[in-house]
């Protein structure tokens, strides 16, 4: 059976780091097995959904290298949900309810006060046809709940959490349709997973109880619609947390725009999130094939996965240090060639920083105030400067022999005069880029 996974965001905002991790793991699961990765836009909430967010989701996935094999939109599938709903209603698996939010809240408080689980008491099932007709005559439109089968225990072998068991009598019958006939998440999602042939649902552990409900929903849909579709396999990964030990608002707003503004490479985000929360080491692996080769749900842990900016920055710097000139050429300052990239690359944490380092070559630079002794030393260096295959080694060798200087006294004034800095790229690579005439002018303080 072909592996089919899906990423199903609601277009009510931008993707954040938690969404990105879920999308990535679904993409990896599909690619690992040569399967299909679907993007499903869950846009049944017409009031909150925005087309700009749909476009942003597509853009972000493409930037991260996770272009889906196909895309579906729930807003274009409403007729399918209507048919499924009718089939479930005919089978007695959905029923109308008329309580207000205030009445439901009061019921919950009463049950809690009695030491009972705060689940729906199924009061609507006790209404007669006359009771329902009277309520609707009074203008009270019903919302609809899916009726769980209390005699059918719920269980599945979770790809991350292992054996899971739920007593349906301890769960509320979920609302699937509002009084205005709009849909909640549960039923359309189950209809789509069956209809699209989704084989694996990989999502956050906050969906575990939803899965328990949806497993009965899948079974009821298959029976009511007389089809032979397969219920997906489920896996629930631990959620991301920040340093403070809980899912922070900062993580909830940290998305691709923020990463791009900071100069974070998409391959660094992928390398970090691919293994975050697993037993595998987080390493600066830019090769997607290498990440896919080791991807395995059995490596996923149950403990919360901690996301830290410092770790992302470490991975990003290491990724940048691996990048070839061809990968970054269109992002580098004018005039910077492969030799320039090779010289400057080890000093970068982010590719956009290349422009700052390239100014060491193009100038102007600001030199420190040198002592008279160092000025004489630099003037001597200008006189000894000759051009060849390795002008830096030749120059420092001559200066060492002529002046007796060594170590910091030999090298630091030269670096300061040539670059205006105490540290930076390897001077053996940088000096040829500066050029003989400009280098001599800088040594003489005439640049």
Furthest-apart CA atoms within the chain: distance in Å: 110
Strand partners, 157: 163
Tokens 């991260």 found at? 64
Q: Is 109 annotated as a binding residue?
A: no
State CA 25 to chain mean position distance.
9
Q: Is-contact 175 143, C-beta < 8 A?
A: yes
Give the CA distances from residue 84 to residues 1, 7, 29, 80, 152, in Å, rounded to whole numbers and listed in that order. 25, 22, 29, 6, 21
Tokens 């592996």 found at? 3
- Name the pairing type of β-strands 240-241 and 305-306: parallel
Instruction: Please state, in angstroms and rounded to a whole number, the distance separating the CA atoms of residues 443 and 95.
Output: 87
| Token digits of residue 408 | 């910091």
End-to-end distance of the chain based on CA atoms, in angstroms?
A: 70
By C-alpha distance, which of 3, 6, 13 is closest to 60?
13
Q: Is-contact 295 29, C-beta < 8 A?
A: yes
Query: Annotated binding residues for ATP, as ranges?
Result: 249
The annotated binding site is made up of: 249
């Amino acid at each position: 059976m072909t592996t089919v996974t899906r990423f199903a965001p609601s277009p009510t905002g931008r993707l954040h780091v938690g969404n990105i991790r879920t999308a990535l793991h679904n993409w990896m699961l599909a690619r690992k097995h040569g399967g299909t990765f679907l993007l499903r836009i869950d846009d049944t909430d017409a009031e909150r959904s925005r087309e700009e967010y749909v476009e942003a989701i597509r853009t972000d996935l493409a930037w991260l290298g996770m272009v889906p094999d196909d895309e579906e939109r729930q807003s274009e599938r409403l007729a399918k949900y209507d048919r499924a709903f009718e089939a479930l209603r005919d089978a007695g698996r959905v029923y109308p309810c008329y309580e207000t939010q205030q009445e439901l809240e009061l019921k919950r408080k009463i049950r809690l006060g009695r030491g009972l689980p705060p689940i729906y008491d199924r009061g609507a099932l006790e209404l007669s046809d006359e009771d329902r007709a009277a309520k609707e005559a009074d203008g009270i439109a019903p919302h609809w709940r899916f009726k769980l089968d209390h005699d059918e225990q719920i269980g599945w072998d979770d790809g991350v959490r292992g054996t899971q068991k739920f007593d349906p009598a301890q769960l509320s019958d979920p609302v699937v349709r509002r009084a205005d006939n709009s849909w909640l998440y549960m039923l359309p999602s189950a209809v789509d997973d069956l209809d699209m042939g989704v084989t694996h649902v990989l999502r956050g552990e906050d969906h575990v109880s939803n899965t328990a409900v949806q497993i009965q929903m899948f079974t009821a849909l298959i029976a009511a619609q007389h089809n032979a579709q397969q219920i997906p396999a489920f896996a629930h990964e631990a959620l991301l947390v920040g340093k403070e030990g809980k899912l922070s608002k900062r993580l909830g707003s940290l998305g691709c725009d923020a990463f791009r503004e900071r100069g974070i490479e998409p391959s660094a985000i992928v390398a970090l999130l691919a293994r975050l929360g697993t037993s595998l080491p987080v390493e600066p692996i830019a090769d997607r094939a290498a990440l896919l080769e080791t991807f395995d749900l059995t490596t996923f842990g149950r403990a919360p996965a901690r996301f830290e900016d410092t770790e992302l920055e470490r991975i990003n710097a290491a990724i940048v240090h691996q990048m070839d000139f061809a990968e970054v050429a269109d992002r580098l300052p004018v005039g910077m060639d492969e030799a320039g990239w090779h010289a400057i690359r080890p000093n970068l944490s982010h590719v956009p920083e290349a422009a700052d380092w390239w100014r060491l070559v193009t100038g102007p630079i600001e030199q420190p105030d040198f002592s008279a002794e160092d000025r004489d030393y630099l003037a001597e260096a200008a006189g000894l400067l000759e051009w060849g295959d390795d002008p830096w080694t030749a120059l420092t060798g001559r200066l060492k022999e002529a002046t007796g200087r060594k170590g910091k006294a030999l090298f630091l004034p030269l670096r300061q005069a040539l670059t205006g800095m105490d540290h930076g790229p390897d001077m053996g690579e940088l000096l040829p880029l500066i050029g003989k005439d400009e280098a001599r002018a800088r040594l003489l303080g005439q640049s």
